[in-house]
Every structure is written in structure tokens, then in C-alpha cells.
Amino acid sequence: MEKPKLALRAWGKLGSIERVSPFGSGHINDTYLVEGAGGRYILQRINTNTFQDVDGLMQNIRLVTEFITEQTRQAGGDVGRESMRVIPCDDGRLCHRDEEGSCWRVLSYIEGSVCLQKARNEQDLFECAAAFGRFQRQLGAFDASRLTETIPRFHDTPKRYQDFERAVQQDTMGRAAKVQREIEFVRQHKADCRYLFDLQQRGELPLRVTHNDTKLNNVLLDERTMKGLCVIDLDTVMPGLSAHDFGDTVRFGANDCREDEEDQSKVHFLPQLYRVCERGFLSQAGEVLTAREKEVLRWGAKLMTLECGMRFLTDYLQGDVYFKIARPDQNLDRARTQFTLVQQMEACWDALASQKENGR
């Protein structure tokens, strides 16, 4: 625990620190809860392999959180709890670089909030989807050109496919032979990878300010009412597609399994939960989305799940260098779970059409 405590010296203004403990379950950054005389805070070490332009990233977060805070104020909401705040170091910088080159930041801790790994019921999932729908609506008037692209081509699915093929060709760990079935599954979906990308290129889908990592555990709920309070993990806020934000909520939430389930017979995509996500998301974002955007939501669900599976499989082939793992084969299990979910979405594809499309 020495390094986090050392880093906190850059925030003398927080007063004496009593405890620093690991917090949350992110796959990329290291997160700690800081408790001290001045209250509770979140401390994070930013993964600088993943995020190379930390200053651009912190600037994005500052711009977006300030914008949301202002929107919340105007709507008469609870400013202290409905957006997180970046707490600058004593010298005014948004993050602190230590002697080893690690970057640290401090964020406000939202009191009376909970973060769930799995929805306990439909209402939890509805609140998650609604929180990301609201995020998109609140940022509807934000000029996306002010944002740095923190991970270039983050949800460029055709590019993710190319990265996957390269990892298969290189096979640096000698693992490809073991996962031929999974490789084949991805290859059968090569053409699908282009679907939303091409629509956007043709001007049929607009670029919006999107969150790009819209899973349940990136939303804080009020511990008393269990209503969505605030969206967290803003590292990947960038210009993007609304279908992707909707889709990642479905990927993580519209099922009854863990993301890294080892037993594929326990993995079930649940269409009724898909509808809950759709209702929740549209309850907030519906008024700003175009008819075309609403029509392609199911593609967002399928492609975010496929893309995430490709990324886990790519990382497995490359030796688990990107996503944190706690056990061998965890990335392979994560990939398999995503592919099972894709298959099950395909099995009920017609039923996932937007209500309007169904009514035609």
C-alpha cells in the first residue's frame, strides 16, 4: 500500500489519511478508497499503457463532468451526487506523476451510493440503461470536437477484427491451436463487423458524445432508492455511436451469468432483459435519437458483445497483456461467454427488432 500513500502526498489538502484500500473491479486502472479526516475519496492509478495521453484524458473528464454538473444544476438536481468531480493536486494539476512515471488522480467519492456487479432484478438494469441514456442526452449539446480521442478507434469493430487476425497470425504464445473453434466463430462474423461502421460512414448514423464502457458496474445507484445517480469511469468518453452505448449495457446486463463464466451451459442471453435495457435507455435518450439510431439498437448489442469477445480472445492470444486476469484462461472464458451470448442473440434476432420495426 506504500505507493498509493506516497502519491497522496500531492493532495495535502485532503488532510490526514487513515486508510487506503483496494476498491472496485475495473480491468484496466487500479482503484483505491481513501478514508481520512477530510472524508472519503477515490484514488486511481491510471494505466498509462492503455491511456497514453493522460493530460488529454483528464481534460476530457474535467470538461464532461463540469458540463454535467451545470446541466444538473439547471435541472434542479443534486449537484454533489449526480456527477463526480476531479480533485486537482495541491499544485492545481489534474493528476500527479510519480517518480516511476505512474499517473494518479483523485475523484470525489459519492456518499450513499452502491455499485453492483450484477443486476439483482429488472429495476437495477433499467436504472443502468437509463443512466447511460441520460448521460447521452445531457451531453447532446456538448461540442464533441473539444474531446481528445483517448484510445483512437476504440469501438472501430473492423479495426478490432484486423487486430484479432494479426494476433492469430503471430500466435506469440502458441495458444491458437487450442482455440480454433473460437477463431472460426469470429471469422464467420467478419462481415457483421462492418455493419454499424458503414452506416456511420455513409452518414446514416450521427456521431455523438458517448461513454463507450456502459456496463452496470460503471453506474452508481443511490443505496436507499436504488435509482441511478451518476455514471463513472469516464476514461473512454469520446465521439461515438449511440447503439454502442446501448449495446454494451445489454452485453453485460441482459443475461444471467458472469462476464467470465467458465461453464458455457450457464450462459443465457435473456431477451426480456434486452427489452428492459431498451426501455431504460430510451426513457432518457429517446427524445434525442433519430429513428435510424433506434432501429439499429440491436446491432449495437450484438456488435459490442462480438467486439468485446474478439478483444478478450486477442488478449488471450497475446498473453493477457491488456485486461487484468486473476487466473489462467480468464480471458478465454470471457471471450467464450461473449460468443455464446452473440449466438443466443442471433437465435432470437427477429424478436429483438425495435418495436417500430416490428410494427411494420
Rank residues 50 and 123 by Cβ distance to ligand GN1 and give the closer one.
50
Contact between 127 and Mg ion by CB under 5 A: the answer reads no
- Render the burial of 91-106: b for 16+ CB within 10 Å, e for the rest: eeebbbbeeeebbbbb
Burial level of 194, CB count in 10 A (0-12/13-18/19+)?
Answer: middle
Burial level of 57, CB count in 10 A (0-12/13-18/19+)?
Answer: buried
Contact between 218 and ligand GN1 by CB under 6 A: the answer reads yes
Residue 21: helix, strand or coil by DSSP?
A: strand
Rank residues 28 and 34 by Cβ distance to ligand GN1 and give the closer one.
28
Rank residues 28 and 230 by Cβ distance to ligand GN1 and give the closer one.
28
- Window 21-80: residues binding Mg ion (CB under 5 A): 26
Minimum CB separation from ligand GN1 for residue 213, in Å?
Answer: 5
Interface pattern 2-31 for ligand GN1 (x via CB under 6 A): ------------------------xxx---
Are 293 and 242 a contacting pair, CB within 8 Å?
yes
Strand-pair partners of 210:
238
- Window 200-229: residues binding Mg ion (CB under 5 A): 218
In angstroms, the CA 338 to CA 260 distance is 9
Size of residue set near ligand GN1 by CB under 6 A: 12
Cα separations in angstroms, 193 against 160, 198, 242: 9, 9, 16
Q: Which cell goes with 286? A: 429517446
Strand-pair partners of 256:
none
Interface pattern 45-84 for ligand GN1 (x via CB under 6 A): -----x----------------------------------
Minimum CB separation from ligand GN1 for residue 267, in Å?
Answer: 15
User: Using CB distances below 5 to 8 A depending on partner kind, what does residue 27 bind out of ligand GN1, Mg ion, none?
Assistant: ligand GN1
Residue 234 corresponds to which amino acid? L
Are 157 and 197 a contacting pair, CB within 8 Å?
yes
Rank residues 63 and 234 by Cβ distance to Mg ion and give the closer one.
234
User: Using CB distances below 5 to 8 A depending on partner kind, what does residue 236 bind out of Mg ion, ligand GN1, none?
Assistant: ligand GN1
Cα separations in angstroms, 326 against 126, 217, 330, 331, 337: 30, 18, 7, 10, 17
Contact between 236 and ligand GN1 by CB under 6 A: the answer reads yes
Minimum CB separation from ligand GN1 for residue 18, in Å?
Answer: 27
Q: Which residues bind Mg ion (CB under 5 A)?
A: 26, 218, 233
Q: Which residues bind ligand GN1 (CB under 6 A)?
A: 26-28, 50, 213, 215, 218, 233, 235-236, 259, 308
